[in-house]
Amino acid sequence: MAIASLVLGVLGILALAEDSKHGKEELIGMGIILSAGLALGVTSLGNKKAGKGMAIAGVVLLSLSLLVLLGSF
């Protein structure tokens, strides 16, 4: 789950850093995917297994992505 969170965080940052204009439907879809990644990261942090650093990085990237996404509305 930590790896999935990190991957979605990186993809979210890259998708929002792109210069093209996104439609409202695309932004809503990105919000859903980023929220799911954030849930995965937080759930992974609750587990006492390896990959805690990746989960923290994923949560930070996903939080930044969601903030940028909310600012683009």
50 or 60, higher pLDDT: 60
**Greater pLDDT, 71 or 36:** 36
The model's pTM is 0.86
Q: Is the pLDDT of residue 19 over 80?
A: no
What average pLDDT does the segment 13-30 reach?
A: 83
| Phi, psi at 72, each rounded to 5° | -85, -5
pLDDT at 48 over 80: no
Question: Does residue 66 surpass a pLDDT of 80?
Answer: yes
